[in-house]
């Protein structure tokens, strides 16, 4: 898309424009709202749009910029929130008919509060599968969200609406959550950048019912914008008992560093994953780009066992935990697939769950030791291209659950490591493929540095919609 279209300016470009007076927050907000009006009926990225509130906030921001006194780091930047997180004054339906729309809606989640304090202009809430339970984005309440590269295909999930919004100029900054790949998978399928920070880097309240595999992070069109968003979202909040102490680091500094001299591990196939040949070729080429950037790249198998069952015991018991809050009448309204995994989760014994916790601990330790040798690990984000929208698994594949086609993402939720997806090309059908970049726990800066370095040789390409 041409840079003359204000809807596609990055947050960092908008902020420079506000500072110089060449563009205004009202103009940027109107451009984002125009994209939403033009495309949301086709793609279903937003389930709540607050045009009036956004323009009012943009006018307030414009007045602050006119006085050269911006409120914070993202003052006036059009922003969206995923419909899983509390946002004061807006219903948080979580994609579910089981949620009472009357609320009350009186609190902001920690990162929502930080974005608001820093002057973000909230456009609305983006779509999610019910309670974020699966790797595609559709639900009985708000319908099917579609991929802007091919609307017959899924954009992935569960932050599918946020990814579609990022890819199509419906705002600059978009919040997602990731309990098994839910930021990285839609980033991979829509051709944008998404990072799952180290668990606890972004405070959460209330904690996801799926527990300590669930992370919060950004989806954006540039790495620098994700770093900017993390600088705001990661500020402390006393409500999250799990949150990491504020170490004073600034994610924005990482995007200007170099990977020269780094030792990088490249894993084309994790475990028994059957990777589509075109994706495998693109990821291999992407790994080679780091050699040109001055790093050493070695093909290595990381010490990750088949963790599908370990993840199921964490994710499915989380679903069972979620169901304890509902009446029988409410449960009957919920997605049958979510009902099924909740029932499976409830059938696990306490000892089976505790065994899975020990397996998870062993994985985390093994990966910490692995990263004593390697700065980052490169893998495909997803093994297959986007498939038909409205299905949990590719039709005719013989698979039954979304966890069966996402082997590269959920292991790093178990280990709580920072991991990102950055576009690395498109298939012969024109569908995006993603490169996953993983670092040791706590070194989100390395993921951002590697991502920014790769972005210099392959900038994000956007769909022409």
pLDDT of residue 273: 86
pLDDT tops 90 at residue 443: yes
pLDDT tops 50 at residue 103: yes
pLDDT of residue 1: 38
The mean pLDDT value for 253-263 works out to 98
The pTM score is 0.98
- Location of structure tokens 């010490």: 303
CA dist., res. 454 & res. 460, Å (int)? 10
CA dist., res. 252 & res. 216, Å (int)? 17
pLDDT of residue 292: 96
For 340-356, how does the pLDDT look when each residue is reduced to its tens digit (9 = 90+)?
999 999 999 999 999 99
The mean pLDDT value for 404-421 works out to 98
Say if residues 377 and 438 touch (Cβ distance below 8 Å).
yes
CA dist., res. 145 & res. 160, Å (int)? 7
Using alpha carbons, list the distances in angstroms from residue 154 to 158, 283, 392.
Answer: 11, 21, 9
3-state SS class at 287: helix
Q: Is the peptide bond before 121 cis (omega within 30 degrees of 0)?
A: no
Q: What kind and span of H or E run contains 139?
A: strand 138-139
Determine the distance from the C-alpha atom of residue 393 to the mean position of all C-alpha atoms in its chain, rounded to a whole number: 20
Say if residues 454 and 294 touch (Cβ distance below 8 Å).
no
CA dist., res. 184 & res. 194, Å (int)? 6
CA dist., res. 441 & res. 361, Å (int)? 13
Let me know if 59 is exposed, middle or buried by CB neighbors in 10 A (0-12, 13-18, 19+). middle
Catalytic residues: 82, 158, 182
CA dist., res. 229 & res. 10, Å (int)? 12
Query: Residues 414, 115, 112, CA angle at the centre, nearest 5°?
Result: 55
CA dist., res. 236 & res. 233, Å (int)? 8
Q: Is the peptide bond before 176 cis (omega within 30 degrees of 0)?
A: no
DSSP for residue 90: B
Half-sphere exposure of 244 (CA within 13 A, CB side): 19
Percent of the chain with pLDDT over 70: 99
The mean pLDDT value for 269-294 works out to 96
pLDDT tops 50 at residue 120: yes
The mean pLDDT value for 48-67 works out to 98
Say if residues 435 and 205 touch (Cβ distance below 8 Å).
no
pLDDT of residue 272: 80
Rg for the chain, CA atoms, rounded:
20
Rounded to the nearest 10 degrees, what angle do helices 308-323 and 350-370 cross at?
130
The mean pLDDT value for 393-418 works out to 98
DSSP for residue 428: T
pLDDT of residue 320: 98
pLDDT of residue 4: 62
Structure tokens at 198: 């180290």
The mean pLDDT value for 77-97 works out to 98
Say if residues 356 and 315 touch (Cβ distance below 8 Å).
no
pLDDT of residue 460: 85
Query: Residues 161, 128, 130, CA angle at the centre, nearest 5°?
Result: 165
Percent of the chain with pLDDT over 90: 98
pLDDT tops 80 at residue 2: no
């Amino acid at each position: 898309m041409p840079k003359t279209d204000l809807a596609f300016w990055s947050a960092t470009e908008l902020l420079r424009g506000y500072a110089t007076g060449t563009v205004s927050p009202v103009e940027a907000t109107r451009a984002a709202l125009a994209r939403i009006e033009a495309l949301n009926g086709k793609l279903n990225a937003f389930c709540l749009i607050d045009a009036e509130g956004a323009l009012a906030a943009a006018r307030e921001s414009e007045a602050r910029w006119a006085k050269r006194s911006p409120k914070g780091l993202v003052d006036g930047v059009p922003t969206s929130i995923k419909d899983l997180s509390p946002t004061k004054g807006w219903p948080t339906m979580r994609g579910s008919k089981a949620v009472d729309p009357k609320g009350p809606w009186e609190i902001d989640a920690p990162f929502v509060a930080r974005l608001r304090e820093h002057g973000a202009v909230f456009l609305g809430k983006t779509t999610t599968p019910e309670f974020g339970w699966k790797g595609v984005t559709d639900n009985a309440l708000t319908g099917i969200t579609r991929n802007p590269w091919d609307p017959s295909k899924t954009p992935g999930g569960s932050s599918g609406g946020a990814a579609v919004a990022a890819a199509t100029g419906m705002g600059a900054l978009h919040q997602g959550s990731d309990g098994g790949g839910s930021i990285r998978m839609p980033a991979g399928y829509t051709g944008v950048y998404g990072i799952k920070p180290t668990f606890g880097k972004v405070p959460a309240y209330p904690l996801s019912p799926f527990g300590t595999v669930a992370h919060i992070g950004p989806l954006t069109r540039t790495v620098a914008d994700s770093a900017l968003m993390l600088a705001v979202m990661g500020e402390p909040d006393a409500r999250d008992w799990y949150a990491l102490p504020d170490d004073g680091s600034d994610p924005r500094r990482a995007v200007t560093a170099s990977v020269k001299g780094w030792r990088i591990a490249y894993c084309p196939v994790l475990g028994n994953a059957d990777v589509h040949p075109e994706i495998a070729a693109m990821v291999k080429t992407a790994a080679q780009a780091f050699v040109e950037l001055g790093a050493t790249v070695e093909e290595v198998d990381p010490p990750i066992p088949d963790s599908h069952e370990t993840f199921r015991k964490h994710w499915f018991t989380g679903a069972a935990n979620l169901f304890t809050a509902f009446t029988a009448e409410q449960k009957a309204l919920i997605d049958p697939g979510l009902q099924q995994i909740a029932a499976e989760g409830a059938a696990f014994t306490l000892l089976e769950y505790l065994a899975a916790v020990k397996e998870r601990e062993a994985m985390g330790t093994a990966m910490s030791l692995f990263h004593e040798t390697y700065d980052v690990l490169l893998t495909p984000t997803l093994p297959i291209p986007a498939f038909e929208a409205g299905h949990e698994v590719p039709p005719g594949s013989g698979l039954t659950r979304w966890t069966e086609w996402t082997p590269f993402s959920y292991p790093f939720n178990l280990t709580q490591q920072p991991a990102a997806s950055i576009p690395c090309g498109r298939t012969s059908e024109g569908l995006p493929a993603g490169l996953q970049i993983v670092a040791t726990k706590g070194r989100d800066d390395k993921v951002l540095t590697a991502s920014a370095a790769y972005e210099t040789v392959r900038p994000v390409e956007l769909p022409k919609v």
